Amino acid sequence: MQEHPYTIPLAIVAGGIIVAGAIYFSVAKFPSAGSGSGNPSLVRPVGSTDHILGNPAAKVTIVEYSDFDCEYCKSFHETLHQIVANEGANGQVAWVLREFPLFELHDNALAHARAAECVAQIAGNDAFWKFADALFADQPVDPANYGSLAKAAGIPGDAFATCYATASTTAISTRITADRQNALDVGARGTPYSLILVAGKPPVVMDGAYSYDAVKQLLDQALGN
């Protein structure tokens, strides 16, 4: 399942009047692994600045490009938590979450991404994941509630407010733009869009919100089980 930020111009001629509009649409589907356009090999290498859940040295890494206001991302977020809890218990699977705000579809997508990155900047990886979980759990989140969510993640209100006030003009904005551009480079046109990475092998694409069993099957193949 995924949400697509494509824009389709419609020109309707009636009574000599041309009406043009743009329609954003979402398509629910379960595509096969490896589908999609772009070049998955252009995925940015996972580094110390990424948001990683699980063992950073894991044999298999799932890199997900996500939007905090995407309903399909919410269900897939829960799925990947289960994957890391179960399949990553032995340290062989890790999950990286990168920003792909579909601001063409969701008015607050970019704001959510900035808020999450502020939390990460102030308090680190664990706080980022707590805040990300809260954004999905309370979806759709009103930006007016960022302060309380940040506090629940262990961030002082003043520190968050200061960061967020300048997030559009700091390194946080640069990071989000870089994440989004990398998503487009690898072929993402909607969310969630994920890649299963194993050293020495081509990336495997998951274009949509795959089920737990579907993800596990791909991981088993990647691990040679």
CATH number at residue 107: 3.40.30.10
- Rounded CA-CA distance 225/153 in Å is 37
- Rounded CA-CA distance 39/183 in Å is 10
Nearest Cα residue to 93 out of 187, 221, 207:
221
pLDDT at 180: 97
Residues of the chain with pLDDT under 50: 5-36
Q: What digits encode the pLDDT tens for the residues 25-59?
A: 333 333 334 444 689 999 999 999 999 999 999 99
- Rounded CA-CA distance 76/211 in Å is 8
Q: Domain count for the chain, please give it.
A: 1
pLDDT at 187: 97
Specify if 135 maps to a domain. Answer: yes
Specify if 9 maps to a domain. Answer: no
What are the residues whose beta carbons fall under 8 Å from the beta carbon of 142, sequence distance 6 or more?
Answer: 108
What is the token pair recorded at 129?
A: 């994941």
Specify if 20 maps to a domain. Answer: no
Specify if 6 maps to a domain. Answer: no
Q: What is the pTM of this model?
A: 0.84
What is the token pair recorded at 84?
A: 């890391």
Specify if 25 maps to a domain. Answer: no
Specify if 124 maps to a domain. Answer: yes
Nearest Cα residue to 116 out of 130, 137, 102:
130
Specify if 70 maps to a domain. Answer: yes
Strand ranges inside the chain, DSSP E: 2-14, 17-27, 51-54, 60-66, 93-99, 193-198, 204-207
pLDDT at 156: 86
What's the domain range around 98? Answer: 31-223
